[in-house]
Chains A and B, each alone.
Chain A
Amino acid sequence: MLCRAGVATLMETFYGYTKALYMYQKTLLTSVGDQVLSEGLSSILLGQISGKSNSFRMGQQTSAPKLTAQDRAIFQLKQQRDKLKIYQRKLSGIMERQNKLAMESIKNQELERARFYLRSKKQQQNTINKTYDSLENLEKLISTIEFKLIEKDVMYGLQQGNEVLKRLNKEMSVEKMDKLLDECEEEKIKVEDISDMLGMGSGLSRSEEDEVEEEMLALEHEAGITDNKQAQPKVSFPDAPSKVPETDEREEELEEEAPRLTSNNPLPA
């Protein structure tokens, strides 16, 4: 009973400790989080993704997002791509018109003229096909740059994460943990000592504890548990002669095999 009370008290103290620890971690995390956030923010403001910067720009009015050199490069490429697309559109327009003209020429029996239009149309088609290659190259370049930028971000993220982890590990050193646990242990011992001295872990006096004990015995008797307890030692008696084990085991085996034996052979007796 004392022990149970002790555990309860210990649990309470321990809970207090874990709560304190949790609060401590939380403040630690938020402070670290804030720092990461502000670092990220200032790096965005300064237009640089990598590279540490301690300048603190929070509180200032955020202006428009900064454009990096990469942004401008991608923009250039995309503009070229758009130009190609517009060029293609223009050529297809011309082709359509030439097709119509060729049709009209054939209707008017101007075969040479029709041939000229068709030849010219073919030329446009070839040019369009060529522009597709350039378009593909541009698209590839754009997506490569974009992907590289993402990879760079990922690397930066990993770096940051690593730093945070390092910082956290530093804060949660083994010594500190040891000390904490030691203190916990000390508290536990103190609690045990006190409850031992007072002899009333659960807040009951000794005589009350005795009464509880009596009541419990009575209940056990009622529930028939005491009978079983007495029966158990009785069972343990036959265990003693088990020093003649082989015959017993064989008998058991025989008993198990008995049905089979009877079916195959006549009884040996």
Chain B
Amino acid sequence: MDEFQFPKIHSFPPMYTKQPNSTILQNQLDSWSDLILSYCQYYKITRLSLTGSILYSQHEDLNVDKLPPLFDNTYINRSVNDEFKSSIFQHMIHKLHVADYLNSKRPEAGIFIYWRSLSEWGNIIYDYVEKTGQLGSVLTIYELTKSEDSILNDSLKNLDYELLERVLKKVLVKQGKAQVLMNEEGTQIGGVKIV
């Protein structure tokens, strides 16, 4: 897989320091948000820690340590400090709504990056189930995202469980389209019935 090509702004030194002027700061935060979204979409990253390390990528054979770092630029010898990272994430969560805490009570658990909105994910799942004629039958989560012999939709392949759970609960169940079943241990969603 080719490396993500950072836009020129990633090599622009002032990007790495929090700008005092509020208008410029807003622009800076927007630029960072765009950059993070396209980076995560490129590598199919759905979860980041608060320090920007990758918590989950849909690419199974992605070597996370070898990816070009998001918040560091060795060529210009700059990196974003944790405080500014937090401001960027706050901006993404509260202003742009393109990210959200995994657990709002425990923000340190990390954040989801919504390069695809929850309802878009919901539509993808629903379309897949409808197209494969599986509306109304119970599907296991494994079947939906991991199984090698079901005709998998590329978008769903190896989908982050945490994200899937959120999509199911916040979108499909709310719309009255889905009902979830817990696994045997009762700890996670084990299956779903979509109608």
Contacts and interface: CB of A to CB of B under 8 A. Distances in A.
Indicate whether A and B interact: yes
Nearest to A61: B176
B132 interface: no
A63 interface: yes
Contacts of A67: 138, 179, 181, 193
Contacts, number: 48
B140 A75 contact: yes
A186 interface: no
Classify the interface of chain B: helix, strand, loop or mixed.
Answer: mixed
Interface in A37-75: 62-67, 71-72, 74-75
A182 interface: no
B142 A64 contact: no
Contacts of B191: 75, 78-79
Contact of B176 (A64, A79, A82): A64
A74 B176 contact: no
Size band of the B side of the interface?
Answer: 20 to 34
Contacts of B181: 67, 71-72, 75
A163 interface: no
A78 B195 contact: no
B193 A79 contact: no
B179 A82 contact: no
A79 B191 CA distance: 8
Nearest to A86: B142
Given A71-B138, A75-B190, A75-B191, A66 B179 contact: yes
B137 A82 contact: no
Interface residues of A, number: 16
A188 interface: no
Contact of B173 (A64, A74, A82, A146): A64
B195 to A, nearest CB: 4
Nearest to B148: A85
Nearest to B182: A75
B178 interface: yes
Interface string B114-152: 000000000000000000000001111011000110000
B157 to A, nearest CB: 15
B86 interface: no
9 shortest A-B CB distances, which residue pairs? A82-B142, A64-B179, A65-B195, A75-B138, A78-B140, A75-B191, A71-B138, A62-B176, A65-B179
